[in-house]
Structure 1
């Protein structure tokens, strides 16, 4: 599964979505759901002072460490849960999360932790697949969710990313919902944007 996740999440169509938000990160950055480090090439070296990746021990940290070693970015990896980070409050200017909120078991706790570790008015940058605003697609997502979760290591098709982020105490600065085209709408409805800590 870790190699499969790395390959699927590294597809060109997915990489293009990452490139919409990751370069906006600045200052001291924490990335939750760091995975195999696929966001590393997208960070703007001129604007990022430090980077801490957070990822559970799901088979991906060894790939992440290799990716970090190949980069010129000051980065480290903490192998721990996003729902209970060991970081002190108010240590980050930016939190980045891409393609991870779908599979974190307690997503509201993870977002509350992101809110906690951000400095006042810090930003959450996100790029996720989730619930479609189109009723007929959303019905299919709900119907397919249970078997998909069993096949895809707990990934949810139908999480309402924007609502979850707002519930965690963020306000949206920019929020786009779009799909990636015919044949991908069940999995390919994307929630991409920037939220500010209230």
Structure 2
């Protein structure tokens, strides 16, 4: 890991993923989580304040970056989560939880960066109970060809600077390819955000 990835990317990503438009997106889906919850890529704990504490039995906060987990632990302590968060320093491609063991999987603004997104979603499907749900909010490929063209042009430069973030991934299609049925999905361009990074989709899905 280079100096950029170790020291610059974590605070840069934390800042970028906590802008006002993105925080509003988080607020639309995170409070719907129930029971035993797996959050894929908890980062610095940006979502923690949006969970309905009384509806959460255990929150498994999965994050591959030790630096991010350190920040997330601090956020959890400040919000009074006590011992109901189980921090797991691991990648989403190999989740150390039992099959059919969680009620909700929360995925917010992380699918763009996971190298093996197919493996990550396969693991999400494995650990999800048959009646469980995935709650998601992600940015990705725009439907407008003019915007999509620029996304494809800029992505090779964007990725190394933004911690591996892809601009051209299609969240709905990714979920379907991984064996999920999308129950509901809304989309929009986020306000005050460049269109190449601001096309957002959010909603819920279940194992098909």
Q: What TM-score do you get using the length of structure 2 for normalisation?
A: 0.91
Q: SS of the counterpart of 2:45?
A: coil
Is the CA contact 2:138–2:171 (under 8 Å) kept in the aligned structure 1?
yes
Matched, 1:88 2:98: yes
Once residues 168 and 67 of structure 2 are traced to their aligned partners in structure 1, the CA distance between those partners, rounded to angstroms, is: 25
Count of residue pairs brought into register by the alignment? 198
* CA displacement at 1:181 relative to structure 2: 3.7
Q: 1:57 to 1:124 in 2, by over 3 A?
A: same
Is the CA contact 2:185–2:202 (under 8 Å) kept in the aligned structure 1?
yes
Once residues 106 and 41 of structure 1 are traced to their aligned partners in structure 2, the CA distance between those partners, rounded to angstroms, is: 28
Q: SS of the counterpart of 1:6?
A: helix
For structure 2, the 5+ residue unaligned runs are: 1-8
Find 1:75's aligned residue among 70, 85, 101: 85
Once residues 175 and 23 of structure 1 are traced to their aligned partners in structure 2, the CA distance between those partners, rounded to angstroms, is: 16
Once residues 108 and 69 of structure 1 are traced to their aligned partners in structure 2, the CA distance between those partners, rounded to angstroms, is: 33
Give me the CA root mean square deviation: 1.2
Q: SS of the counterpart of 1:83?
A: coil
Q: Which moved more, 1:77-86 or 1:6-15?
A: 6-15
For structure 1, the 5+ residue unaligned runs are: none
Name the structure 2 match of 1:9: 17
Name the structure 2 match of 1:129: 139
* CA displacement at 1:183 relative to structure 2: 5.5
> Deviations for 1:77-97, whole angstroms, at most 9, x for unmatched residues?
100010011111111000001
Matched, 1:31 2:52: no
Q: 1:182 to 1:67 in 2, by over 3 A?
A: closer
- Runs of 4+ in structure 1 displaced over 4 angstroms? none
Is the CA contact 1:68–1:76 (under 8 Å) kept in the aligned structure 2?
no
* CA displacement at 1:121 relative to structure 2: 2.3
Find 1:120's aligned residue among 112, 116, 130: 130
Name the structure 2 match of 1:19: 27
* CA displacement at 1:55 relative to structure 2: 0.5
Name the structure 2 match of 1:157: 167
> Deviations for 1:53-81, whole angstroms, at most 9, x for unmatched residues?
10002521110111122233311210001
* CA displacement at 1:182 relative to structure 2: 6.6
Q: What TM-score do you get using the length of structure 1 for normalisation?
A: 0.96
Name the structure 2 match of 1:194: 204
Q: SS of the counterpart of 1:51?
A: strand
